[in-house]
């Protein structure tokens, strides 16, 4: 059995695994990523079909303005040059009109007043803006597993806790009433759409602070990777050793070390960073105490997931890359009336083509229990429904669509070992101190990614990675 005592093993090569590996390698550690799939990226990967490149799930990189953890992380890893910032970050199509979500507060308020005039808009949106910058640029310390950790976490976060205590305690609906009094149904849906895509939840289930941060997302600097999201992830992890097609099937603990087993054999490590979906990989933990520890959090795994339609359009030049469409009701076989559309310029044989990734929410249990025949039929129908919407919205014309196909939670399970791809929903029940931290009570066992602090996406995962570094830096070095 090979012993790799100086190495740090990272399981999973998504945003969390690749960025942790990148940052730790930058700091002089020898990291090795074990990835189940044939390539890195996870939900933020890319794939090729018929020579076209498609982004799998995540398409936006947010938090690209100065001092946000995403920008700090990507600058440190020297990959910022691969990202193009877009402004407006997202174009939102509501039944009452189109709202461009610009980075600038004043322009955004003008846009919102044009479609949803409200006397409270200036005060409300200024609060959204200021809160977003204050909270998301903060350096967090999150470790609630020891007396010392609890005290340190509270002391380090006291400024934020003190300032936003009330916003944290009151419901989003109460906060909205205080700022905007009466709001029109379409305005409510416009805000709910932000909560759905950022927090994987809805206004009724979140506190006021989560609502403000969800609405603030487009203020943080939104961009896309010019080499596809998967290309970006590969660049980030380039200094690490990467072992693809290496699913970890068992993790044992022997004294202070971890033994990883897979079809590649077995390897021993001193330190382990779990960057894979823990709830759907519970079977790999062979140490009872570790297993029991993670089982405490299993209720955080939800039935929420996504269904996606990918496609290629020829001779089409969209003016904006990211669009959020609000419908009156969900499409059949989906669970939300918000549809996110991303375009990505892809070139083949010198001809300009645009590929698209369209996503909306669905329930994992719904697709899991279908008979093969029904499953295929529903996928086909969903494909048609989405293409019709795209045609209506952008006037694309069906004859310009070269190719299109669908992915369901079952597709994600096959490739990425996870059906629920939304991460932990940011609800009142799943407050930040109730979710797993990036450190665990077990020496040298760490956790990053959207099953842990600080929830999903580039912004949440970057905050978690900085918390991980802050917690373990000294320990790893010794
Ligand atoms: C449809 C959709 C759209 C989204 N859009 C955005 C967006 O625009 N912007 C944004 O910031 N976020 C977005 N998100 C959220 C974001 O994609 C995720 O939060 C993030 O990619 C999760 O990264 P991760 O590294 O935690 O996990 P994952 O992406 O799940 O990566 C985990 C990796 O572990 C591997 N793995 C699993 N099991 C094992 C095993 N046993 N052994 C070895 N390897 C294993 C998997 O193959 C995978 O590569 C979106 C998510 C979805 C589903």
**Burial bucket for residue 383 (CB in 10 Å: 0-12, 13-18, 19+):** middle
Q: Is residue 55 part of a domain?
A: no
Weakest mean pLDDT among 23-37, 66-80, 129-143, 219-233 = 23-37
- State whether 256 and 358 are in the same domain: no
- State whether 262 and 343 are in the same domain: no
Which segments within 90-200 are labelled E, that is strand?
Answer: 90-94, 97-101
Choosing from 9, 37, 44, 225 the residue with most ligand 1 atoms within 8 A of its CB, the one to mutate for a pocket test is 44
Q: Is residue 287 part of a domain?
A: yes
Q: Is residue 447 part of a domain?
A: yes
**Residue closest by Cα to atom 5 of ligand 1:** 58
Query: Of the candidates 244, 273, 234, 233, which has an alpha carbon nearest to the alpha carbon of residue 34?
Result: 244
- Cα 421 to middle of ligand 1, angstroms: 7
Q: What is the pLDDT of residues 237-279, one digit of tens each?
A: 998 999 999 999 999 999 889 999 999 999 999 999 999 999 9
How high is the mean pLDDT of the chain?
A: 94
**Residue closest by Cα to atom 14 of ligand 1:** 58
Does the C-beta of 35 come closer than 6 Å to ligand 1? yes
Q: What is the mean pLDDT of residues 300-322?
A: 95
Q: Is residue 156 part of a domain?
A: yes
- State whether 130 and 205 are in the same domain: yes
Split at pLDDT 50, 70, 90, the class of 348 is: low
Residue 40: what pLDDT?
Answer: 98
Does the C-beta of 425 come closer than 6 Å to ligand 1? no
Domain closes at, from 201, 219, 237: 219
Domain closes at, from 196, 219, 242: 219
Q: Is residue 93 part of a domain?
A: no
Q: Is residue 81 part of a domain?
A: no
In angstroms, the CA 452 to CA 455 distance is: 6
Does the C-beta of 364 come closer than 6 Å to ligand 1? no
- State whether 362 and 381 are in the same domain: yes
Does the C-beta of 281 come closer than 6 Å to ligand 1? yes
Query: Of the candidates 211, 189, 196, 219, which has an alpha carbon nearest to the alpha carbon of residue 116?
Result: 189
Q: Is residue 70 part of a domain?
A: no
- State whether 150 and 236 are in the same domain: no
Split at pLDDT 50, 70, 90, the class of 347 is: low
- State whether 329 and 400 are in the same domain: yes
- State whether 313 and 395 are in the same domain: yes
In angstroms, the CA 79 to CA 236 distance is: 7
Q: Whole domain around residue 361: which residue ranges?
A: 304-416
Largest CA distance in the chain: 69
- State whether 308 and 203 are in the same domain: no
Does the C-beta of 276 come closer than 6 Å to ligand 1? yes
- State whether 292 and 350 are in the same domain: no
**Residue closest by Cα to atom 47 of ligand 1:** 416
**Residue closest by Cα to atom 4 of ligand 1:** 58
- State whether 429 and 344 are in the same domain: no
Residue 351: what pLDDT?
Answer: 67
In angstroms, the CA 77 to CA 18 distance is: 11
Does the C-beta of 458 come closer than 6 Å to ligand 1? yes
Number of domains in the chain: 3
- State whether 119 and 211 are in the same domain: yes
Does the C-beta of 55 come closer than 6 Å to ligand 1? no
In angstroms, the CA 428 to CA 172 distance is: 10
- Cα 461 to middle of ligand 1, angstroms: 10
Domain closes at, from 416, 441, 467: 416
Which atom of ligand 1 is nearest the CA belonging to 43? 29
Say yes or no to pLDDT of 112 above 80.
Answer: yes
Split at pLDDT 50, 70, 90, the class of 291 is: very high
Q: What is the mean pLDDT of residues 61-73?
A: 97
Q: What is the CATH number of the domain that holds 469?
A: 3.50.50.60
Q: What is the pLDDT of residues 376-430, one digit of tens each?
A: 999 999 999 999 999 999 999 999 999 999 999 999 999 999 999 989 999 999 9
**Burial bucket for residue 293 (CB in 10 Å: 0-12, 13-18, 19+):** middle
- Cα 243 to middle of ligand 1, angstroms: 17
Does the C-beta of 196 come closer than 6 Å to ligand 1? no
Which atom of ligand 1 is nearest the CA belonging to 461? 26
Q: What is the pLDDT of residues 37-47, one digit of tens each?
A: 999 999 999 99
Residue 28: what pLDDT?
Answer: 79
- State whether 139 and 193 are in the same domain: yes
Q: How many other β-carbons are positioned within 10 Å of the β-carbon of residue 347?
A: 12
Does the C-beta of 60 come closer than 6 Å to ligand 1? yes
Does the C-beta of 63 come closer than 6 Å to ligand 1? no
Q: Is residue 56 part of a domain?
A: no
Does the C-beta of 359 come closer than 6 Å to ligand 1? yes
């Amino acid at each position: 059995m090979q012993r790799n005592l100086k190495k740090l093993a990272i399981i999973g090569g998504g945003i969390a695994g690749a960025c942790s590996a990148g940052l730790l390698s930058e700091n002089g550690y020898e990291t090795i990523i074990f990835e189940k799939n044939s390539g890195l990226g996870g939900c933020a990967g890319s794939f090729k079909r018929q020579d076209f490149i498609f982004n799998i799930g995540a398409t936006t990189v947010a938090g690209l303005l100065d001092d946000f953890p995403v920008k700090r992380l990507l600058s440190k890893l020297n990959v910022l040059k691969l990202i193009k910032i877009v402004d407006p970050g997202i174009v939102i199509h509501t039944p009452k009109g189109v709202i461009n979500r610009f980075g600038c507060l004043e322009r955004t308020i003008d846009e919102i007043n044009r479609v949803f005039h409200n006397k409270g808009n200036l005060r409300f949106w200024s609060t959204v803006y200021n809160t977003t910058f204050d909270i998301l640029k903060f350096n967090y310390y999150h470790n609630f597993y020891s007396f010392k950790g609890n005290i340190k976490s509270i002391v380090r976060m006291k400024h934020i806790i003190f300032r936003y205590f009330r916003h944290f305690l009151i419901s989003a609906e109460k906060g909205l009433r205080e700022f905007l009094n009466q709001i029109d149904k379409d305005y409510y849906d416009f805000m709910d759409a932000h909560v759905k895509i950022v927090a994987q939840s809805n206004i009724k289930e979140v506190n006021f602070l989560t609502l403000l941060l969800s609405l603030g997302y487009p203020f943080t600097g939104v961009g896309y990777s010019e080499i596809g999201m998967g290309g970006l992830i590969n660049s980030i992890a380039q200094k690490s050793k990467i072992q693809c097609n290496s699913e970890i099937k068992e993790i044992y603990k022997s004294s202070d070390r971890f033994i990883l087993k897979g079809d590649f054999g077995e390897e021993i490590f001193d330190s382990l960073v779990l960057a894979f979906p823990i709830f759907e990989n519970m079977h790999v933990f062979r140490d009872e105490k570790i297993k029991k520890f993670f089982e405490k959090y299993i209720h955080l795994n939800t039935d929420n997931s996504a269904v996606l339609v990918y496609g290629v359009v020829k001779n089409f030049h969209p003016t904006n890359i990211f669009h959020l469409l609000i419908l009156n009701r969900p499409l059949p076989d989906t669970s939300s009336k918000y549809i996110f559309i991303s375009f990505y310029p892809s070139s083949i044989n010198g001809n300009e083509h645009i590929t698209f990734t369209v996503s909306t929410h669905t329930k994992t249990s719904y697709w899991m229990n279908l008979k093969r025949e029904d499953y295929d039929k529903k996928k086909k129908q969903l494909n048609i429904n989405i293409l019709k919407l795209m045609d209506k919205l952008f006037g694309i014309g069906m004859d310009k669509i070269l190719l299109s196909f669908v992915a369901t939670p079952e597709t994600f399970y096959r490739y990425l070992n996870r059906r629920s791809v939304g991460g932990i929903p940011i609800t009142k029940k799943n407050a930040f101190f109730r979710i797993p931290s990036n450190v665990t009570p077990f020496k040298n066992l760490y956790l990053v990614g959207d099953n842990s602090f600080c929830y999903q996406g580039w912004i949440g995962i970057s905050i978690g990675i900085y918390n991980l570094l802050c917690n373990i830096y000294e320990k790893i070095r010794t």
